[in-house]
Amino acid sequence: MKNIAVVGTGYVGLVTGVCLADLGHHVICIDVDEEKVSQMRKGHSPIYEPQLEDLMKKNIEEGRLTFTTNHAWGIRNMDVIFLAVGTPQQQDGSADLSYVQRAVNDIAQHINRDVVVVNKSTVPVGTNESIQQYFNQHVGELGQVDVVSNPEFLREGSAVYDMFHGDRIIIGADNEDAALLVEELYRRLKLPVVKTDIRSAEMIKYASNAFLATKISFINEISSICEKVGANIEDVAYGMGKDRRIGTQFLQAGIGYGGSCFPKDTNALVQIAGNVEHKFDLLESVIHVNNRQQLLLVKKAKERLGSLHGKRVAMLGLAFKPNTDDIREAASVVVANELIQEGAYVTAYDPIAMTNAAKVLNIEFANSVVEALQEADVALIITEWDEFKQLPLNTYSEHMRVPIVFDGRNCYTLEAVQEAYLEYHSIGRPVVGEVDLNKYLYIQNFLSEHG
C-alpha cells in the first residue's frame, strides 16, 4: 500500500482520493478552502454523489483518509501525488491551466524525495511534458519526479461505481517504472490497463468525450428528422443499437449534453486542433447541434402556444443529469434564461440541485413537483430524475391550468401517456393527446365560475 497525496478536492480529486483510500492506500487530500476541508474532515462531502459520503466516513474512521490545507505536510514523504484540479474553459474555448500551474508550483516547493506525480486533470496534449520540464528545472537534487498521465472517465452520478467498475485504466508515461507503480495502485480493481506515451493518454481523454458527444448530437439530429417524417426515435435507436459496431449507449434522444466535461472538452479539442492548423468541422457541428438542441423545448412550446409572454412555466429538473447537483453547462440554465427573455413566469423544482441553481438563476423555486405544476400553462421536463419518471401522469392534469407537457428526456412511454388526459410532446416521437386550448379553457372557466 502506498502513501498518496491528492491535490484538489473537486469532483475528480475527492472521488479519486476516497476510492484509493478504500483500496487500502493512505491518502491525504489537499485543498486551499479551510471551511471545505473542515467539513470533509467530519465526513461531509461538498458534492452530491451516491455512495461517496459513506465511503468518506468509513475510511476516515479506519485511518486511511485525511484532509488538510497544509501543502507542505500533505506533500512531503509521499510515494505518489495526484494532481486533480480544475481546467475550466476560457473565453476562446481553450483550457485554463492556471490552477494546474499553481498546483505544480506548490508540489515542486515541498517535494523532498523521489515521487511520481499522476495528473488526472484534463489538459491539452503536451501539457504533461511541460509539467515534467518544470519539475526537472525546479526540484533539483531534492528528488526525482516522474510525471504520469492518468485521465479519468468518471460519470457524475455514478462516479464511485465507475471508479471500481471502469472499462479501462489509461496510463501514459515515459518512464516504465513510474507506469508500473501507478498500475500497482489500481491492482485490486482488476481492470484492463492500457499503457501509452503521455501525449496519447492526453488525447484519449479528449477523443473519448468528443466521440460520445458526437453520438448524442447525431441521435438528436436523427430525432428531428423522425418528427418530420413520422418515425419514432426510440424504435430507430433500438434498431441501430442492435448493431454491435454502434451499441446502445448514448443513443437516447433529448435536449443535449451538459456538465463539466463534454462541453468543455469538445471546445478544448476544437481549440487544440486549431492550434495545429486543423479545422475540426465534425466536432464544430456537434457543438452547434447541441447548443441548438438545448433550446428545443422553448421553441416547441412557443410554436404551440403562439407566445410564452405571461405564461406560467413549470420546469422539472435543473441538474444537467440525474443523481448530481451539478448545473454546470446544464440545459436548465439556457432554458430558464430564454423563458425569462420571452416574458414567461418560471417556477422550477429539482430534488437536489436547487441550491446551486439559485446561485445563477433568478426564478422561483418550488418545494415539490406539485407546487411547481400549480396553475402552470405548460411544463418542461429538463432532467430525467426517477421522481419525475415515476410521477402519476394524472398529476399534470390535476394541478396544471393547462395539461401540456414538453418532455426533453422522453421520460414516459407513449402508451402510458395515451391513457392520461394530457397533451404530450417529446423528442423524436409523435405528439400525443393534443388539447383544444380554447375549448379546454372555456370548460375550465365555466367549472370555476359554477363550482
Q: Is 166 annotated as a binding residue?
A: no
Distance (Å, whole) CA 104 – CA 134: 8
Provide the angle, in degrees to the nearest 10, between the axes of the packed helices 198-229 and 233-241: 140
Q: Is 36 annotated as a binding residue?
A: yes
- Three-state secondary structure call for residue 282: helix
Q: Is 155 annotated as a binding residue?
A: yes
Q: Is 447 annotated as a binding residue?
A: no
Q: Is 384 annotated as a binding residue?
A: no
Residues annotated as catalytic (active site), given as ranges: 261
Q: Is 321 annotated as a binding residue?
A: yes
Q: Is 251 annotated as a binding residue?
A: yes
Q: Which residues lie below 8 Å from residue 386, measured CB to CB, with a gap of 6+?
A: 322
Q: Is 154 annotated as a binding residue?
A: yes
Q: Is 20 annotated as a binding residue?
A: no
What residues form DSSP beta bridges with 28? 5, 66
C-alpha cell at 136: 526537472
Q: Is 156 annotated as a binding residue?
A: yes
Q: Which residues lie below 8 Å from residue 263, measured CB to CB, with a gap of 6+?
A: 89, 257, 287, 290, 329
Q: Is 304 annotated as a binding residue?
A: no
Q: Is 311 annotated as a binding residue?
A: no
Q: Is 254 annotated as a binding residue?
A: yes
What single-letter amino acid sits at 442? Answer: Y
Q: Is 153 annotated as a binding residue?
A: yes
Distance (Å, whole) CA 286 – CA 284: 5
Per-residue HEC secondary structure of 136-178 comes to HHHCHHHCCEEEEECCCCCCCCCHHHHHHHCCCEEEECCCHHH
Angstrom distances, CA of residue 442 to CA of 39, 401, 438 = 56, 12, 6
Q: Are strands 65-68 and 26-30 parallel, antiparallel or unpaired?
A: parallel
- Three-state secondary structure call for residue 193: strand
Residues annotated within the binding site are: 31, 36, 87, 122, 153-156, 205, 250-254, 258, 264, 321, 328
Residues annotated within the binding site for NAD(+) are: 31, 36, 87, 122, 156, 264, 328
Residues annotated within the binding site for substrate are: 153-156, 205, 250-254, 258, 321
